[in-house]
Structure 1
Amino acid sequence: MGRNTRKRRTPLAVKAMAATAALALGGGGLVWANFYASAHEPDHRSWGGNETKAAPARVATLSCPDVGQRLTDVPDAARRGVAAELAALDRQITEAYARLASTRDAQAKDPGFVQNAIVGPLKEKRGATIDRIRIDVQRAGGSFDAALSGLAACTTRDADQTTAGGQQGGGRQGGQQGGGQQGNGGQAGNGPVAADFVDITKVAPNVQGKPRATRNGSTGTFTTRCGVNANKNHNTDNVIVAPGVANGAHHLHDYVGNQKVNAFAGNQTFLRGGTSCRNRSDLSSYYWPVVRVQDGTRDFDQNADGGGKEGNVGRVLTPAQAEIRYVGSPVSKVVAMPQFLRIITGDAKTTTNGLANANAHWSCTGFETKVQLTAQYPICPQGSKVVRSFAFQSCWDGQNTDSANHRAHVAFADPASGACPAGFKAIPQLTMRLVYDITPPAVQNGQVKNAYAVDGFPEQLHKPATDHDDFISVTRDGLAGRIADCVNRGRNCS
């Protein structure tokens, strides 16, 4: 799927919205506070009101180097310990962001407060954690890149640097922006903002054609029907990235397929887990961050870790449709997926990492073959529904079911030719399409009302580019081989 390459132009002068959101820690978790209001004017207005007071720029979020993405040599014996330390890095950022959001008065009075009370102590904690990672790796016989020790320091970013066009790495989406809002917006004060939305009818077509199939290609499809998580199987863990760590994701996931997936599950647990799939031999786990409508309502996790306490608020939406399909390679046959293969597609931290690993695709029914968005959420016309879609990596290194950074063992095929990189084998490509009934948000005076957003780490500000999807391949009774055979024979199976 292609991406719009037009960059958004951010106005140099806009009216600051004085009553946009900040985070304040209270009994109900993250709640509204005065984020961008003048330090000399009390906030007495509600979200979405008419704001006229200009405000100085303030720190919007923290940007911390992603240590996990840089790890390439972690011996098996050190994997669990390193994962726990990486989860500690995420927790430290979450805690620092909460402190950033709840100390606006102190920041207004002391220009050095953020550096001295938040960023400096965070660097010390991160440095100690990275050193523990070094010890774990070296103790298990691995090599540690000394440059990783230089990733302890975090920086701050203002609101202009977090808009769709201002993301590090370059925002790729264009179209109408719906205002120059400078605040962090959102029902919990950490996004989304008006600039995160675009009227899809005003975006130029950007979907590029797929590589042409050759005589050696595998043109079949295999569909597995696993439901929409109507039974509300949720948790805030991530067993791939943070095994053994409760709330390792810091946001809520929908789970379909395997029903026994949490931070403490292992391969044998998966085999006993049962499945929501009609094909009882499909025990694979398919999980993704939930989408919420921020219309002022609360959900069951309003006061919970990974939910309202970390800025993920609003009503959790169950997809109207969830389509899971395996497709082939246009230029070669595929090999069966290995048992327990783990794949993460997309990047939950693109607001700070940039878009290099982004693989989010947002569209609307009736527009999917024309427009796919990465760095903005679509506002769909009347009668059209919001669509999230994912096309996973379809090339495997032939040896490993996971890797230290959870990326190196799989790869994307070349978008022009469809061929896998040297040393990789084509596997059935997992594709997912999630459809949601969402009342279109309204953008008025630079504010977005009744916004929707994907769950995420709080400092990532609910940006659409942070969307991602997770998969663990678990099959029995020869299903993996049957999927590959169906795809290779050019059949349409289910």
Structure 2
Amino acid sequence: MGRNTRKRRTPLATKAIAASAALALGGGGLIWANFYASAHESNYSAQNQTKAAAAQVATISCPDVGQKLTNVPNAARNGVAAELANLDKQITEAYARLASTRQAQTNDASFVQNAIVNPLKSKRAATIDRIRIDIQRVGGQFNNALSQLAACTTQTANQTNAGGQANTGQAQTGGQAQTGGQANNGGQQQNGGQAQNVGGQAGNGPVAADFVDITKVAANVQGKPQNGGNASTGTFTTRCGVNANKNHNTDNVIVAPGVANGAHHLHDYVGNQKVNAFSSNNTFLQAGTSCQNQNDLSSYYWPVVRVQDGTQDFDQNADGGGKEGNVGKILTPVQAQIKYVGSPASKVVAMPQFLRIITGDAKTTTNGLANANAHWSCTGFENKVQLTGQYPICPQGSKVVRTFAFQSCWDGQNIDSANHRTHVAFADPASGVCGNGFKAIPQLTMRLVYNITPPTIQNGQVKNAYAVDGFPEQLHKPATDHDDFISVTKNNLANKIANCINNGQRCA
């Protein structure tokens, strides 16, 4: 299947990205820190100013190895996944070192390169070589060009805006028009005031530029393709709750099976109640479910949203939580609507058992927006405005809404792929047709609604921000929002869903 077809999004996603600017795949990251020398230094000379300028903003961008691994033999996938998780861990550790050595960076312009970037390259090179060994050991072919992805690069403030989340096409008010990384969130300075962070309670976002008053944004939602004569027009709704029982963990069994804290951020789980890094297909079948339909054992999970108003939660000092920059009170959705819909162009085939789908990209700050599929809006605005690169500030009485429309075309053979993307695809946004032999499957859609006190922008700083959990180096950018799904059903439910949709019924 062609590359462009695989990456196509719905018209909604495409338009949202254009107006406002993808699951975690291992091995890529962006490390950001903002520094300046203290004006209170006793020896604040021209030499010190030169050093401070050199260290003012240090950004380390690492290529995402996981995105490039499109052909890994099944026998090597668990080993490769573990090594990709090691790459993520290495970036997390480097980010922590970057954040804790601000004074050293102010004093030595070469510190980041010598003490952080070069050691990181050596670790990554060894890990990528272990990936090569894992693949070749079982007879697979390894692209030696991947070895060149070990090196990370540094950038300064004028070379990046903390992830490229451009604000094209959106009106901004109240001091929001500034690049990421320039806002210091209300007294969050550390190390004697010698370091300026990039927003948020943990110093890694969000910043004022990550928010926009939704009432100031022009309508950007396009219409859907018209239904053809063979369209499948039914819907199937499954009611699985909002994770009121607080089933959380920081694993990701799709991307990092067997690796604790493989996500480096916290997930809400609804549906299947036995999902963690060590779960298997047999585990899924033996688990209970939060869904009213007990035949729906599927796992639906997404990164939590937190409000950063100075509050803390249970994981303030835990991996994947406060130790990795994910801080604040965890918000439980007030609604979580899960619905399967049909294709405007054809009938659908039933989803295969254990199909895995990741929609969006947890690393858009590193990878760019090619696989982004985040949609942020407010109640009362969903049919008019959808945002990818900014969080909405909703008017009083309106709630924050996250929506996801998953890939709805399947290759007809594989329940997963090496990079967790190429076995599924988006339909053509204009016609709704699946390309190159892919089959239409019921499209999973999700709508999560939150009660959030609107943040405010004061003097270029965001107060009472909210943000989606993410990898610490991704700076809590809204475009990193993503959603994960594993299809697990029993008693012929998968066929019942497809038949309902194909017959034009409304089922629940």
TM-score over 0.5 (shorter chain): yes
Superposition pairs for residues 113-124 of structure 1, below 5 Å? 113-124=111-122
**Amino acid in structure 2 at the alignment position of 1:316:** I
2:449 to 410, 420, 435: 435
Residues 113/317 of structure 1: CA separation in 2 closer, same or farther (3 Å cut) = same
Q: Does 1:101 align with 2:114?
A: no
Q: Does 1:40 align with 2:39?
A: yes
Residues 80/450 of structure 1: CA separation in 2 closer, same or farther (3 Å cut) = same
2:212 to 198, 202, 207: 198
Superposition pairs for residues 229-248 of structure 1, below 5 Å? 229-248=243-262
Give SS of 2:389's match: coil
Give SS of 2:81's match: helix
- Structure 2 CA distance for aligned equivalents of residues 105 and 137 of structure 1: 42
- Structure 2 CA distance for aligned equivalents of residues 469 and 160 of structure 1: 32
- Structure 1 CA distance for aligned equivalents of residues 333 and 64 of structure 2: 31
- Structure 1 or 2: more helix by fraction: 2
Residues 305/164 of structure 1: CA separation in 2 closer, same or farther (3 Å cut) = closer
Q: Does 1:299 align with 2:313?
A: yes
**Amino acid in structure 2 at the alignment position of 1:237:** D
1:318 to 310, 332, 349: 332
**Amino acid in structure 2 at the alignment position of 1:418:** G
Residues 398/315 of structure 1: CA separation in 2 closer, same or farther (3 Å cut) = same
Superposition pairs for residues 307-456 of structure 1, below 5 Å? 307-456=321-470
Residues 437/137 of structure 1: CA separation in 2 closer, same or farther (3 Å cut) = same
CA contact (8 A) 1:236 1:306 kept: yes
Q: List runs of 5+ in structure 1 lacking aligned partners.
A: 9-21, 24-34, 43-54
**Amino acid in structure 2 at the alignment position of 1:486:** C
- Structure 2 CA distance for aligned equivalents of residues 58 and 333 of structure 1: 56
- Structure 1 CA distance for aligned equivalents of residues 253 and 373 of structure 2: 20
Match of 2:84 in 1: 86
Match of 1:32 in 2: none
1:58 to 38, 50, 56: 56
Q: Does 1:136 align with 2:134?
A: yes
Offset of residue 386 of structure 1: 0.3
Match of 1:486 in 2: 500
Match of 1:49 in 2: none
**Amino acid in structure 2 at the alignment position of 1:121:** P
CA contact (8 A) 1:61 1:97 kept: no
Offset of residue 421 of structure 1: 1.2
Match of 1:30 in 2: none
Offset of residue 422 of structure 1: 1.1
CA contact (8 A) 2:163 2:366 kept: no
CA contact (8 A) 2:163 2:364 kept: no
**Amino acid in structure 1 at the alignment position of 2:405:** A
Q: Does 1:174 align with 2:170?
A: yes
**Amino acid in structure 2 at the alignment position of 1:299:** D
Offset of residue 172 of structure 1: 5.6
Match of 1:279 in 2: 293
Offset of residue 73 of structure 1: 1.2
- Structure 2 CA distance for aligned equivalents of residues 121 and 224 of structure 1: 49
- Structure 2 CA distance for aligned equivalents of residues 131 and 164 of structure 1: 30
Give SS of 2:18's match: coil
Q: Does 1:468 align with 2:482?
A: yes
- Structure 1 CA distance for aligned equivalents of residues 297 and 17 of structure 2: 36
Offset of residue 155 of structure 1: 1.7
CA contact (8 A) 2:406 2:444 kept: yes
CA contact (8 A) 1:321 1:434 kept: yes
Match of 2:24 in 1: none
- Structure 2 CA distance for aligned equivalents of residues 160 and 87 of structure 1: 31
Match of 1:209 in 2: 223
Match of 2:303 in 1: 289
1:83-133, Cα deviation, whole Å (9 max, x unpaired): 000000000000000001111100011010000000010001000100000
**Amino acid in structure 2 at the alignment position of 1:86:** L
Residues 223/60 of structure 1: CA separation in 2 closer, same or farther (3 Å cut) = farther
1:393-438, Cα deviation, whole Å (9 max, x unpaired): 0000000000000001000001011000112000000000000000
CA contact (8 A) 1:179 1:445 kept: no
Normalised by the size of structure 1, how large is the TM-score? Answer: 0.89
Offset of residue 221 of structure 1: 0.4
Count of equivalent residues: 456
Give SS of 1:482's match: helix
**Amino acid in structure 2 at the alignment position of 1:429:** Q
Greater relative CO, 1 or 2 (CA 8 Å, sep 6+): 2
- Structure 1 CA distance for aligned equivalents of residues 382 and 122 of structure 2: 46
Normalised by the size of structure 2, how large is the TM-score? Answer: 0.87
CA contact (8 A) 1:193 1:447 kept: yes
Residues 307/337 of structure 1: CA separation in 2 closer, same or farther (3 Å cut) = same
Match of 2:72 in 1: 74
- Structure 2 CA distance for aligned equivalents of residues 161 and 424 of structure 1: 40
CA contact (8 A) 2:20 2:387 kept: no
Residues 228/175 of structure 1: CA separation in 2 closer, same or farther (3 Å cut) = same
Give SS of 2:16's match: coil
**Amino acid in structure 1 at the alignment position of 2:424:** V
Offset of residue 237 of structure 1: 0.2
Match of 1:16 in 2: none
CA contact (8 A) 1:7 1:165 kept: no
Offset of residue 158 of structure 1: 4.1
- Structure 2 CA distance for aligned equivalents of residues 126 and 174 of structure 1: 39
CA contact (8 A) 1:294 1:451 kept: yes
Residues 361/282 of structure 1: CA separation in 2 closer, same or farther (3 Å cut) = same
- Structure 1 CA distance for aligned equivalents of residues 418 and 487 of structure 2: 18
1:154 to 152, 155, 161: 152
**Amino acid in structure 2 at the alignment position of 1:151:** L
Q: List runs of 5+ in structure 2 lacking aligned partners.
A: 1-11, 22-31, 42-51, 184-197
1:5 to 5, 18, 28: 18
Offset of residue 59 of structure 1: 2.8
- 4+ residue segments displaced more than 6 Å: none
